[in-house]
Every structure is written in C-alpha cells, then in structure tokens.
Amino acid sequence: MDSEMLEKAWGDVCSQVKSYNNIDPTQINAFFSRLHPQAMSEGFLMLTADNDFIKTWIEKHYVEVIKQALGDLYHIPYMVVIEVDVTAAQANAQPAPVQSSPVQPQTQMPAAATQPVSATPAAQSNPYSPSQPYASPSHAAGGAASVGLGGPSSSPAGAEEYAAHGISSDVDEMGKPTSSLTFENFVIGDSNRMAYSMAVAVAEMPGKAHLNPLFIYGKSGLGKTHLLRAIQNYIIETMPHLSTIYVDSAELLSDYMEASAAHDKEKSSYKNFKTRYEDADVLLIDDVQYLQGKKQTLDIVFQIFNKLTSQGKQVVLSADRAPKNIDIDERYKSRFNSGGTFDIQPPEIETKLGIVKSFVEEYRINEGIRELSIPEDIQLYIAESSSSNIRELKSAVTKVIYQMTFFNQPDISLADVRDLLENHFSGGPSKRLTVSDIQKEVENFYKISHAELIGKKRTRNIIYARQIGIYLCRQLLDLPFNDIGKQFNRDHSTVMYSVTNVEEKMKESRELREELEALKQLIREI
C-alpha cells in the first residue's frame, strides 16, 4: 500500500473511532496526532509513536478500539502493532542531567501506582473507550481517582480539587505516589495545551536547560497543582532512582520558620531543612506568590534554586500570576522567568463540557451506578454557567448527582437543575449583575469617572477602559450590542468593534488576559 493510500486508510480508521458514541472526538484528534501509519495489509496494521511513553499508553488504552474500528471498516480481525519511531525520538531528545536515566518502555504500569498518559500536548485518558468501557485512573493510586481537568474523586463529596485540578494528596514514606493527579486524567483544551505539553516534556526528561525552571501560572482552580503533581507522579513511577519533592509554598515557609526558630544556622534542624531540598533531583514548589514579602525564606529558596539548576537538576514552580507580577526582588523575577514560562487560561466551554462528562463517568465507575446519566442539556448548562474555577463546576455536578441518587430524582429536568443551582455559580450568565455594576468596577479599576467612561473624551486611557467595560458587559451579561451601546452612549457598530478589538488583543497579550481575569473576579464579588 503506497503512502497516500496508507494515510487515507489511517484517516478512515480515526474517523471511525471518533464516530463511536462513547468516544470524545477532540481527545482522539489530539492523541492520535502522535501516531503515524507505517504499513498495512490484510489483517495487519503497523503504527509508530513518537516515544515509548505514547506507545505504552496507546497499547494500554486504545489498541482495542483501533482494532474495533478496523473490524467495522474491513470486516476482518486485525493485528495492530505499535513501535517507537527511533528517528523522531532521537530528534526530540535533549541531554539529560547526569543523575537522570532515559524513560524506559513501560509494557505495563503497576496497578497500584499512578499511571502516566501520552506525552502529546493534547493527550488525555479516554474513559469512554470501547476497549475499556470503564477504564479510568481509578486503577491508579489505589483507586482514588479524579478525572482530568476534572473528574471527581472516589466519591463526589470527598473531592474538593479539580481535575486538572482534582483531589490533592501526597506520597507515602516509601515515596510511592498516592495522588490521583496524573497526566492521563488531565483534560486538555486550548486554554492549557502548551502548559500541559511542557509539563510532560519536563516529566519525561528532567533538567532540560530551556525548561529549567519550568514556571506555570494561572488563576486558582485551573490546574497548576495537577500538572505539578502529574510531573511528580510520572517521575516517581518511571525514574524511581530520582529524588522528587513537591512542596506548597505555605508548607515550605512553615518548614523554614520551624527550622530556623532559634536563628541558629548551625542547628541540625536548619541543616536538615536545607539539605532535604538541595538533595532533590526534581523540586516542585507550588504557589510561590505566597513567598512575596518573606525575604529570608525567599533568599533560602533562591540559594536552593540556583544550586539545583546549576547542577542540571529540575525546578518547577507555579503561581497565580506571571513572575513579573509577583511582588519580589527583580533578581528573583529574572531567575524564575529564565526557563520556560507558560500560562493556563480559563477553560473554554468545550473543555468544561468534557470535564462534566468525565465527572459523571468517574462517578459511575467508582460507585458502580452504570445506569447514571445526566442529560446533555443539563451538562451544557453547567458548563456554560460555571466560572473559570473548575472546583465550582465539580461541585455543581456533585449537587446534581446527589439530587438524582440520594434524593431519588433520577429524571431531574433542566428547570429543576436551574432551581437547584440558582445561587451556586459565581460566574457565567447572571441575572443579578447589571451594566452599572460592571461600569462601576471598571471606573474604580482604571481610576476614571462615570462621566468619562460614557462621555465623548477620547484620550487613550479612557478609550481603553471604555472598550474593556463594553467587552465585559457583552461577555458577562450576554446583552445585544445595541443594548450595551445605549448604556455607554455608543452605537451598535462601536460596541461590536470594541468587543472584537479586545478579543484580538487578548490573543497576543497575557497581561490583558490577567487584567481581565482580575476585573472579572472583582465583579463576581459584588
């Protein structure tokens, strides 16, 4: 079969897989893009993957559904063989630090350990695979699973963390991962694709100079902790000889204060504190913005940071804002920003809908209620109404599930859900929020008067604030352009231009995206 026919046949297989009712096409698009057909004959298909990681995950979770698609298309059983494209793997390889060893092929992950997922930037587990009707990360970490940018834990009431974002946990005394936050259960969308891809790259080969440190930032509940934990769990699973430490900055601060309480730098407690982190091969520090104003702790962190990176050891940091927006000394900002810095944006509707589906599926798995099903219109309502914080979305799904199961209302309607969640959401469409509310917050934020906001002045700062106000009214209230225009003394075309202009600028400016998110938070707190 020539290459053109081979590519077409593989395309047909991918389309067939995506046609199954229990398959999410966006997941297949992202994941299968890292597979390449090499040979095909009657009853046989050979594919290559970019690396061992992808090969292992495909073999474990997707081979059977590929076979099913081939059988449906060609009406004979197929053997599917997956090999690693050595050329691609070598092309992508970077020198590893001396203490690291390459990731070895994993023909089967231990059932009790956290399982990694594909290294593709958009790869994620597919809990709907026909080959594993209820395959899920519950096999990992002793069964305490949470799905993707957000699935529930083993019980809805027990998981506060969001999937990308799921439940927070740690490792036991033996270093065995107990967290359910893995790459496989992180739901990928345009909002987090790059950060995810870079996290996987670091997990596969810690210490790459251009990603050391790796700095991931974004608002609370968007998946920073999930990615840090996923890196930790993947390295523990595949490179157990490396010392991997995850620490929240609050815990780090507490450790430091305890160790240096007597201000005696010769105390064994202080030495043990510093040695613990300096001996790490991979150090992951979460929420570093909480260290601002803590000069002594920052100085120690900076020393540890420099020692590790100079030795080719990996440092990963997270914060709720970009390094330049953290109130710390310029030298810290410069070093934090010296590797790879990537942001996570609020998930788009499609991603949130995927998270809702994952929540529901995971609950079915963990509770054994296979007949549980939330109607599509209710799932969409939750996705559209929830704010950027996926913990809020998760708790909304939990409420609906409880109403259906524990309160014996299996045929719950959209109207019932609207009543149930009437006061639940902090973002999304809001009946209580008004144009005046948004205008007031914009005026306070940009230090201009109401008369200037809706008046004829065209100085740059006023035009900028006015366009932001118009954009926020459109996004948060979903009002027609003409209705918004009346509140700003502008016509329909001016309002449309303002919205489009802000949307275009957001694509290029992280600063603007952060600014808008801060404004939205202020508005939600009204």
> Percentage of the chain surpassing pLDDT 90?
22
> Residue 380 pLDDT more than 60?
yes
> What pLDDT shows up at residue 451?
94
Q: Give strand ranges (E) for 134-195.
A: none
Closest CA to 160 of 184, 139, 180: 180
> How far is Cα 116 from Cα 182, in angstroms, rounded to an integer?
6
> What pLDDT shows up at residue 96?
38
Residues of the chain with CATH 1.10.8: 349-420
CB atoms within 10 A of CB 151: 37
Better-predicted residue by pLDDT, 484 or 112: 484
> How far is Cα 266 from Cα 264, in angstroms, rounded to an integer?
5
> Residue 98 pLDDT more than 90?
no
> How far is Cα 186 from Cα 355, in angstroms, rounded to an integer?
9
Closest CA to 242 of 278, 214, 205, 282: 282
Three-class DSSP labels, 187-209: CCCCCCHHHHHHHHHHHHCCCCH
Whether 117 and 125 have beta carbons less than 8 Å apart is answered as yes
User: Residue 150 annotated as binding?
Assistant: no
- What's the average model confidence in pLDDT over 433-446? 90
DSSP string of 60-77, one letter each residue: HHTHHHHHHHHHHHHSS-
For domain 349-420, say whether CATH 1.10.3470 is its number: no
User: Residue 175 annotated as binding?
Assistant: no
> What pLDDT shows up at residue 179?
59
Least confident of 288-292, 470-474, 478-482: 478-482
What digits encode the pLDDT tens for the residues 16-50?
998 887 776 766 766 687 788 988 888 889 888 87
Return the CATH number of the domain spanning residue range 3-92. 3.30.300.180
Whether 94 and 208 have beta carbons less than 8 Å apart is answered as yes
Three-class DSSP labels, 357-412: HHHHHHHHHHHCCCCCCCCHHHHHHHHHHCCCCHHHHHHHHHHHHHHHHCCCCCCC
Whether 514 and 522 have beta carbons less than 8 Å apart is answered as no
> What pLDDT shows up at residue 109?
31
In the chain, the N- to C-terminal Cα span, in Å, equals: 64
Task: Supply 506's token pair.
Answer: 């957001």
> How far is Cα 330 from Cα 334, in angstroms, rounded to an integer?
6
> How far is Cα 149 from Cα 151, in angstroms, rounded to an integer?
7
> How far is Cα 355 from Cα 345, in angstroms, rounded to an integer?
15
User: Residue 225 annotated as binding?
Assistant: yes
* Residues 435-524, CATH architecture: Orthogonal Bundle (1.10)
Residues of the chain with CATH 3.40.50.300: 137-343
- What's the average model confidence in pLDDT over 235-249? 91
What digits encode the pLDDT tens for the residues 333-358?
888 888 888 888 878 788 888 888 88
Buried b (16+ CB within 10 A) or exposed e, 444-472: ebbebeeebbbeeeeeeebebbbbbbbbb
Residues listed for the chain: 526
Reported as a pLDDT band with limits 50, 70 and 90, residue 486 is: very high
Better-predicted residue by pLDDT, 248 or 119: 248
Query: How far, in Å, are 87, 175, 201, 305 from residue 207 at the CA level?
Result: 22, 20, 10, 13
Residues of the chain with CATH 3.30.300.180: 3-92
Average pLDDT over all residues of the chain: 76
440 CA to centre of own chain: 33
> How far is Cα 228 from Cα 307, in angstroms, rounded to an integer?
20
> How far is Cα 267 from Cα 263, in angstroms, rounded to an integer?
9
Reported as a pLDDT band with limits 50, 70 and 90, residue 111 is: very low
- What's the average model confidence in pLDDT over 228-256? 89
> Residue 130 pLDDT more than 50?
no
Reported as a pLDDT band with limits 50, 70 and 90, residue 313 is: very high
Q: Give strand ranges (E) for 153-253.
A: 214-217, 244-248
> What pLDDT shows up at residue 450?
94
When the candidates are 1.10.10.350, 3.40.50.740, 3.40.50.300, 3.40.50.620, the CATH number that belongs to 137-343 is: 3.40.50.300
Partners of 247 in the beta sheet? 285
> Residue 224 pLDDT more than 70?
yes
Whether 179 and 168 have beta carbons less than 8 Å apart is answered as yes
- What's the average model confidence in pLDDT over 190-201? 89
Q: Within the chain, what is the greatest distance between any pair of CA atoms?
A: 76
What digits encode the pLDDT tens for the residues 389-416?
777 888 888 889 888 888 888 889 999 9
> Residue 92 pLDDT more than 60?
no
User: Residue 221 annotated as binding?
Assistant: yes
